[in-house]
Chains A and B, each alone.
Chain A
Amino acid sequence: MQVFATSKATALGGALNQLTCLFPKSRQAVRIMKLTTIFLLAACLQLSAKGVSQTVSITVKDAPLLTVLKEIKKQTGYFYLADNEWLQKAKNVTISAVNWPLAKVLDECFKGQPLTYNIEGKVINIVPREEKGKTVSVVNDVPPIDVRGRVVNENGEPIQGVTVAVKRKNKSTITDANGLFRIKDLDESDILMFTHVGRESLEMGLAGKSELLITLKTRISSLDEVKIIGYGTTTQRLATGNVERVSSELIGQQIITNPLQALEGQVAGLQITQANGLPGAPINVQIRGQNSIAASNNPLYVIDGVPFTSTPIEILGGPNGNGSSILGSPMNSISPADIESIEILKDADATAIYGSRGSNGVILITTKRNKSGKSKFDFNINKGVGRVTVLPQMLNTEQYLQVRKDAFINSNLTPTVSNAPDLKSWDTTDYTNWQQWYLGGKATLMDVTASYSGGSDQTTFLLGGSYHDESTILPGSTDYKRGSGHLFLGHTSKNKKIDLATNIFYVADKNLLSGTVNGELIDIVRSIPNYPTYNNSDMLNWTGSQTNRIAELLSYSKRRTDNFNSNVTLKYTIFPGFNVKTNLGYNKIEVVQINGFPSTSKNPTTNPTGSSQFANQYIKTYLFEPQVAYNANVGGGSLDILLGATLQNNETNGQFIYMSNYTNDLLIESLNYGSVLFTGGNTTQYKYSSEFGRLTYNYKNRYLINGNVRRDGSSRFGPSKQFGNFGSIGAAWLFSDENFMKNALRWITYGKLRGSYGTAGNDGISDYGYLSLYTNTTNYGTTTAIVPSQIANPNYQWEVNKKLELALEIGLFNERILLTSSWYRNRSNNQLVGYSLPSITGFATYTANLPAVVQNSGYEFELSTINIKKKDISWTTSLNLSIPKNKLLDFPNISATSYANTYVVGKPLSIIQRYHFVGVDPQTGMTVIDDVNQDGLYTSKSSFNSQGGDYVIAGKLTPDWFGGLNNKFSYKGIEVSILIQFMKQQGYNVYSYSGSAFGQLFNTYSSYLDYWKKPGSQANIPAPFATSNTSLTNFRNSDVGVSDASFLRLKNIYAAYNLPIKWLKSVKANSFQIFASGQNIYTWTRYKGYDPETSNNPTPMVPPIKSFMAGIKFSF
């Protein structure tokens, strides 16, 4: 009989005990599962317990060899493999060792024994002295034989799920959690094939052996890189869903403030758009298009398991909002340097485990951790500069004044000092290019990051910090600073049963901007080129009802954000393959804002006083997620079951105070010296609970099936509608592993067909919408009065997104060429909207489900190739392409809703409806519009949905296709990577920005110069007028303002030189790199405006900047 360290009786008893305790009423289950064998082997877990030391202290006198070996195992984690018979032949041992190396102890023990040993990984093979080699053949060679063995990796750790098949026989099994397997009734001549995902396959002849120890080497393939998914991990090879990973390497190469910016052009199906080029600007993120008409379209962000807010939390708005709707991205308060990877989950299979919040996709952010325990210090510093990418030309003074003169003629008015100060009282030779003054500056950038990681076999840690400092291109004192600290701590108990990991980070940033900007440029571009900034007495000039831009810079906005995120994961392994886990999370993000308006920034003729706005707001998130995971080999395949629950509690709390009447500008940041204009605040609580489960079955790494279910309860819904069920099913077939493929098409080394279908929901609406609420109002008589403020609607439910995906993944020539093509179709119905009510109900709107259906479908392609792979030189390419299609599939009775003028059934949600511009009347210079309804009038309403207007579909804001191309070269120590981003789309152009004011006391773009001058002249731009004129309003509201905004952009070039390792050895460094990077380097576009990236905004925005940086990075 073979002996594995502990008694099988104990093991079996223990295992059964565990089972009966766990499932007290289902002893049957034990029988059904027929796990006897598995648990028998499971007991051998003891074998694999990995020790901490490789020295042994032992003192025994005349003890059996077995006792010594057991002690060695206990102390070192090295287990042994031997035949019981042989061990019985062994002589007793006498030894007295104190901290001897293992080998010395073993040598001593085996001295004079009929046995000898060899060490393979962490296994001590014991063989008869005359035998050599790593395996043992059995003395008894009468067939059939039973073979048992163990499969380990290079470190001697067991590998679970290895398929062990007998060549040319229909016989196979897979290894268990201890890497053990057993196959009965084999012939001496049989050949065993060992295959496992992520490892190189191995064939081995039995040659009569019945005990095998197999080491499978890790296969280096991108297919087997670990990807994080909801409550688990997977690899591309084994995934049944659509999960994409962006690694820290790709994030680190770019010059970015917000980590989301690094994703631009990197992931198929993910569209990232910056609202403007200022630090802290909002970033619009859409995974596979707009699903919801009125509820949130933001994906769910999860940082180290803790859900993170996707909506801006500022009250005052924006970097300097003044109540503007342009708000900052909360993602800004995460340091890109702390991020290990970002995973994007797209289809039902990947997102359904997030149930009611997975409708818009999920973005998982994993912060850096340390796995190896090796001590390492990493340091990076870089500095850079940035400038604006592109500026459309403005009219100079001469051109501008000519327009004004013509405008007065067209309006039949005489310019006077009061209606035309620019012509009559200001110096007509003065010229300021306000746009250049405002956007022409140079931004500076600096980043310093450092981290120290280390630990031991059991405990690992990583301590990191980063500092980011960036000034903007704008005038005045504008600055963005961010500091972060990050701690990871991991611990595994000696017996490997307890696993603890904690990740804590803290980020503080400060955003200071001068002037009353919020990213919008319209006031700047309209500034008059000959406006006298200073008057004759050298004081700031305020005449002509113009804002003095220099004085305006004295106002400012300060915004500080603190973001604290922590999570603890505690895992206890009850027996191999069965563990319980708890995830505890806490996040608090808080914003404190002050907008200051000193009296000096205001027009002195109105006797202004200083004023300011104060606001703060925080969101606290508490999370508790217990989970149970079970893994077993069932029916020749591997079964994974995950059960878990979530309790989440979010508290939002905010206040604001507007103050005025400060007599001293120096004190406007104090609440003590002004008078209160008004105050406000809000408190909301969001509670969320759910239970979820996942079942994955993997048969021979060839057939995979994965099911998710989730039942969610959310406080955002009424008592009878709080709970909703979501689920998905995904399946994959690795056809390349089928014999017919292996024989016929050997060059297809990886082929997978996968599909998924399921539902995910959206609860992205405001809190308490279902409740009947009262609010305070003016007293009636002397009685406090309250009035209804919200009508109850307990009936609305989750928005449901039904997602379907089919994908084909092909790898050729050992995955040197890897192509993933996927098709998806997401249908979102039950749209949650602010539904218009007839006023007889007492209210104008309430939150309700609309039976409208929005469909997003499309194709996504990802191609990666290894073009050159030699010792010193390599070249890899990756390309992604998305072809999305958005469509409003159904919208019953749209004509009677408030959406009648916005949406058209059968068209994308992003359509822009405007007049169709026919041309300029050569006789009158007036705009000619297509009178769609032929009623002789221009009606600014939709011509669809029986609105009776003349608006037609002028274009749409969602791209036709987009993607990115990344090339990476390396030659010896030199690395270069080039990222190109491209997008085929439409957008708003310069004519959309300011057309209606053409000829008034506003400057405009030089593309207006081709305007109508006199009767009979052909022109593309209508005549200017000195006062507002419908011809120009119609022009601005026509499709002229919407045009092609496609672009091809050299997004990033990163070049680095790594010093040769031999140089580094002398200073004990691991690596030393000098690098340079450029961002938004060049853009090819025909777009008439600023940057095409901000073209989805009908007003001009501060464009993204082009920046360059250089730095050093080292590690020792």
Chain B
Amino acid sequence: MKENPTNKMKRKGSNNRLMAINQLLLLILLSVSILGCKKYVEVTSLSDKLLASQVFSTDASANSAVAGMYRLLRTNLYNGGSYTPAILTGLSSDELYNFFPSSVLDDYKNNNIQITNGSLPWSNLYKIIYSANAIIEGLEGSSSISQSSKNQFTGEAKFVRAFCYFYLINLFGDVPFLSSTEVTTNSTASRNLATQVYNQIINDLLDAQELLDNGYLNSGGERIRVNKAGAIALLARVYLYNQNWSNAELQASAVINSGLYVLLTNIDSFAIKNNNEAILQWANTSSEGNYEPTQFIFTTSPNILCSNSLLTSFESGDLRKTKWIKSGIYSGNTYYYPYKYKSNATANVNEYYTVLRLAEQYLIRAEALAKQNKINVAVADLNIIRQRAGLPSISVNISQDSCLNAIMHERQIELFAEGHRWFDLKRTGRINVVLGALKGNNWQTTDTLFPIPLSDIQKDPNLTQNQGY
């Protein structure tokens, strides 16, 4: 059939139109497949939540994450609910006792902790470790944070991680050492030997010393965030616990000789904010107080009190007995309670929770020296502490054993209710003798370790329970 030219033109026109439409169609399909790809369903920012990737993009927000880590420490470990390591170990050892029956506290006092006891510091410590690991990882992966901040924050996170693991292994024995936030491997982790964990702690603290500054940065000079001396002080303690005497001596000396800290002349100022003896304290806001004094100080009825064995251990004339212990009367009887912290107010308190202080460093050095049989200098350090407490100096002409006994005694008194006693008894191997005599049938040798919470044993198939639970 013949075609007329108009038809041809029409056809051409319609073909052009078709071409255009088809191109359009292709364009739509193409754009959809491009749009439909990954980009479209990715979340890069949320208006009311902070992504981890955003947190580690500026110095300021990373600093907030570090502040958050301290906040977790202060709130989760030293405030209410699960009590504090000092209270729990004080009850478990021979320092403290709870006046009124309490299903939670009685467990510790009687060394009969239930595997379901909700105040075990286990999960809180790991929560803080997560936060520290997240900071270390976040800073590592960040390219937009200044090197100085990176150093400072990484140092702080490593210190906090070491601090938490120090408590974990001393409370629970072998524990999983987790150094990342990766949930799949962490949730099936098994326990590492305490010696391995100690090695990690030492590495972290050595790193922290390298990274941290002498000054208290990012806190306006307040001693509420760790500085280099803090990392050294904790390392001194760690070496001491590991019976690495020379290094313990070295580290403690570094703190003592740094010139940054002096022993308080008035021990009533024990917890005053940023006092000269304090190496590290936990901050309170104006609407917070310290938790421990609310448990110790009694206004109407006694709560957590000093044990008899502590009270009778004081030498006569010890200023610490009159200044750090106070009594109250309840139902006609007199009860004594720790009074290192003077204020149990819940707002506008001028005291901070004291974590590390110079006196401990003198005692660490004294012990390390004594162990190396340098009795002269050891006694000298010991006498510094005794003199401040208004006690007579000890003669340098004593045996190593007597010297060590004197140091242990001094630690019991000077550091009471600060969470040292339980660990000191354990690490010196005297715990079974001391507590066995005191607690009778309640004491078993397996009680030196707290139990791992049942729920974690159930959820992590590789986690095993401590002996005796």
* B70→A780 contact, CB < 8 A: yes
Once bound together, how far apart are the Cα atoms of A783 and B224, in whole Å?
11
Q: Which residues from B are CB-within-8-Å of A839?
A: 122-123, 126-127, 453, 455-456
Contact of B28 among A626, A776, A784 (CB under 8 A): A626
Sampled A-B contacts (14; CB under 8 Å) = A647-B40, A691-B32, A715-B42, A719-B42, A771-B52, A773-B52, A779-B71, A780-B224, A780-B283, A781-B222, A781-B224, A783-B63, A839-B122, A839-B127
In the complex, B67 has a CB within 8 A of chain A: yes
Judge whether A10 and B126 touch: CB under 8 Å. Answer: no
Which listed residue, B3, B22, B28, B288, touches A22 by the CB 8 Å rule?
A: B22
Contact B41 A21 (CB under 8 A): no
- CB-nearest residue of chain A to B220: A782
In the bound complex, residues from chain A placing their C-beta under 8 Å from that of B220 are 781-782
Question: CB-CB < 8 A to A906: which residues of B?
Answer: none
Which stretch from B176-184, B227-235, B370-378 is at the chain A interface?
A: B176-184
B18 to chain A, nearest CB (A): 6
A784-B64, A840-B186, A896-B459 as given contacts; A647 in contact with B131, CB under 8 Å: no
* Residue of B3, B74, B189, B458 with most partner-chain A CB within 10 A: B458
Does B80 interact with chain A (Cβ within 8 Å)? Answer: no
Q: Is the CB of A714 within 8 A of B48?
A: no
The 8 A CB mask of A825-868 against B (1 = contact, 0 = none) is 00000000000111111110010000000000000000000000
Kindly state whether residue B285 has any CB partner on chain A within 8 Å: yes
Give the residues from 4 to 27 in chain B that come closer than 8 angstroms, CB to CB, to chain A: 7, 11, 14-15, 18-19, 21-23, 25-26
Say which residue of B1, B3, B65, B455 sits within 8 Å of A774 (CB atoms).
B65
Q: In the complex, which of the residues B134, B183, B220, B458 has the most CB atoms of chain A within 10 Å of its own CB atom?
A: B183
Assembled-state Cα–Cα distance A40/B63 (Å): 74
Q: CB-CB contacts of A658-701 with B at 8 A, as 1s and 0s?
A: 00000000000000000000000111110111110000000000
Asked if A626 and B32 sit within 8 Å, CB to CB, the answer is yes
Compute how far the CA of A773 lies from the CA of B220 in the bound complex, rounded to whole angstroms. Answer: 28
User: Bound state CA distance, A842 and B187, in angstroms?
Assistant: 10
Q: Tell whether A10 pairs with B11 under 8 Å between CB atoms, given A784-B67, A792-B52, A842-B129.
A: yes
Q: Which of A713, A782, A843 contacts B41 (CB 8 A)?
A: A713
**Given A647-B35, A785-B64, A840-B178: A713 touches B40 (CB 8 Å cut-off):** yes
- A142 at interface (Cβ–Cβ under 8 A)? no
A722 and B219 CA atoms in complex are apart in Å by 42
Contacts of B345 in A (CB 8 A): none
Contacts A14-B11, A580-B25, A782-B220; A715 near B134 (Cβ below 8 A): no
Collect the chain B residues with CB atoms within 8 Å of residue A684's CB.
Answer: 46
Top 5 A-B residue pairs of the complex, sorted by shortest distance between their CB atoms: A842-B130, A839-B123, A772-B52, A21-B22, A783-B67
Q: B283–A781 contact, CB under 8 A?
A: yes
Q: Contacts A7-B3, A773-B51 known; A21 to B18 CB distance under 8 Å?
A: yes
A21-B22, A628-B29 known; A788+B41 contact, CB < 8 A: no
Distance to closest chain B CB from A453 (angstroms): 32
Q: Given the known inter-chain contacts A775-B49, A783-B64, A838-B463, please indicate yes or no for A17 contacting B15, CB distance below 8 A.
A: yes
Contact with B along A558-574 (1 / 0, CB 8 A): 00000000000000101
Complex interface: chain B residues within 8 A of A791 (CB): 130, 181, 183
When C-beta atoms are compared, the residue in chain A nearest to B175 turns out to be: A840
Give Cα A781 to B283, complex, Å.
6
The answer to whether B131 touches A787, judged by C-beta atoms less than 8 angstroms apart, is yes
- Pairwise interchain contact B67-A840, C-beta atoms closer than 8 A: no
Residues in A with CB closer than 8 Å to B455 are 836, 838-839
> For window 623-640 of chain A, which residues contact chain B by CB distance below 8 Å?
626, 628
Q: How far is the CB of A431 from chain B (nearest CB, A)?
A: 46
In angstroms, Cα B37 to Cα A723, docked, is 9
* Contact A841:B219 (CB < 8 A) given known A780-B71, A792-B181: no
- Residue A793 interfacial (CB < 8 Å): yes
In the complex, B408 has a CB within 8 A of chain A: no
Q: Does A645 contact B (CB under 8 A)?
A: yes
Residue B47 at the A interface, CB < 8 A? Answer: yes
Distance (Å) between the CB of B427 and the closest chain A CB? 24
Do A772 and B21 have beta carbons less than 8 Å apart?
Answer: no
The reply on B401 being an interface residue by CB < 8 A is no
Query: Restricting to A777-830, which residues have a CB under 8 Å from any CB of B?
Result: 777-789, 791-793, 795
Is A683 in contact with B46, judged by CB distance below 8 angstroms?
yes
A842 touches B21 (CB 8 A): no
**CB-based contact A683/B32 at 8 Å:** no
Q: Give chain A's interface secondary structure class.
A: strand
**A722→B38 contact, CB < 8 A:** yes
Contact B67 A780 (CB under 8 A): yes
Chain B residues positioned under 8 Å from A782 (CB to CB): 219-220
Asked whether any CB of chain A lies closer than 8 Å to the CB of B144, the reply is: no
A714: chain B residues within 8 A (beta carbon): 41
B36 touches A647 (CB 8 A): yes
Given A713-B41, A715-B42, A792-B183, decide whether A626 and B29 contact each other with a Cβ distance below 8 A. Answer: yes
CA distance A208 to B74 in the complex (A): 101
A682 neighbours in B (Cβ, 8 Å) = 48
Q: How far is the CA of A628 from the CA of B33 in the complex (A)?
A: 14
Indicate if the CB atoms of A842 and B25 lie closer than 8 Å.
no
Q: Give the docked Cα–Cα distance between A708 and B65 (Å).
A: 48
The chain A residue sitting closest to B219, CB to CB, is: A781
Chain A interface residues (CB < 8 Å from chain B): 3, 7, 9-10, 13-14, 17-18, 21-22, 572, 574, 580, 582, 626, 628, 645, 647, 681-685, 687-691, 713-715, 719, 722-723, 768, 771-789, 791-793, 795, 836-843, 846, 893, 895-897
Once A688-B41, A778-B285 are accepted as A-B contacts, the answer to whether A7 and B1 lie under 8 Å apart by CB is yes
Name the one of A10, A17, A896 contacting B3, with C-beta atoms under 8 angstroms: A10
Q: Are A837 and B183 CB-contacts (below 8 A) given A22-B22, A626-B29, A785-B70?
A: yes
Smallest CB-CB separation from B66: which chain A residue?
Answer: A783
For A836, the chain B residues whose CB sits under 8 A away are: 455, 459
- Contact of A838 with B11 in the complex, beta carbons under 8 Å: no
C-alpha gap A300/B186 in the complex (Å): 36
Whether A787 lies near B189 (C-beta < 8 A) is no
Q: With CB as the reference atom, state the residue of chain B lying closest to A625.
A: B32
Contact of B181 among A21, A772, A774, A775 (CB under 8 A): A772
Residue of A nearest to B126 (CB): A840
Bound complex: CA A685 to CA B176 (Å):
38
* Chain A residues within 8 Å of B38, by CB: 713, 719, 722-723
Min CB gap A227→B, angstroms: 28
- A787 with B71, Cβ < 8 A, contacts A626-B32, A719-B42, A839-B123 known: yes
B460 within 8 Å of A (CB atoms):
yes
Apart from A18-B22, A580-B28, A842-B126: 4 A-B pairs, beta carbons within 8 A: A691-B33, A768-B43, A787-B68, A792-B181
Query: In the assembled complex, which residues on chain B have CB atoms less than 8 Å from the CB atom of A690?
Result: 36
> Does B299 make an interface contact (CB < 8 A)?
no
User: Taking the nearest CB of chain B, how far is it from the CB of A231, in angstroms?
Assistant: 15
Q: How far is the CB of B186 from chain A (nearest CB, A)?
A: 5
User: Please, which residue of chain A has its CB at the minimum distance from the CB of B21?
Assistant: A574
Inter-subunit contact B32/A645 (CB<8 Å)? yes
Residue interface mask B213-226, A partner, CB < 8 A = 1: 00000111010110
A773 and chain B: residue at smallest CB distance: B49
Known: A628-B25, A839-B455. A786 touches B68 (CB 8 A): yes
Say yes or no: is B437 at the interface (Cβ < 8 Å to chain A): no
A580 to B285 alpha-carbon distance, docked (Å) = 65
Q: Out of A691, A778, A843, name the residue touching B71 (CB < 8 Å).
A: A778
Is the pair B42, A13 in contact by a Cβ cutoff of 8 Å?
Answer: no
Neighbouring B residues of A7 by C-beta, 8 Å = 1, 3, 7
Nearest-CB residue, chain A, relative to B462: A838
Cβ B285 vs Cβ A779 within 8 A: yes
**Chain B residues, Cβ within 8 Å of A789:** 49
Distance (whole angstroms) from the CB of A687 to the closest CB of chain B = 5
B36 and A22 contact, CB distance less than 8 A? no
B1 and A9 contacting across the interface, CB-CB below 8 Å: yes
Tell me whether B55 and A645 are in contact (CB under 8 A): no
Query: Once bound together, how far apart are the Cα atoms of A893 and B457, in whole Å?
Result: 13
- Taking a contact as CB atoms closer than 8 A, the residue among A14, A688, A843 that contacts B14 in the complex is A14
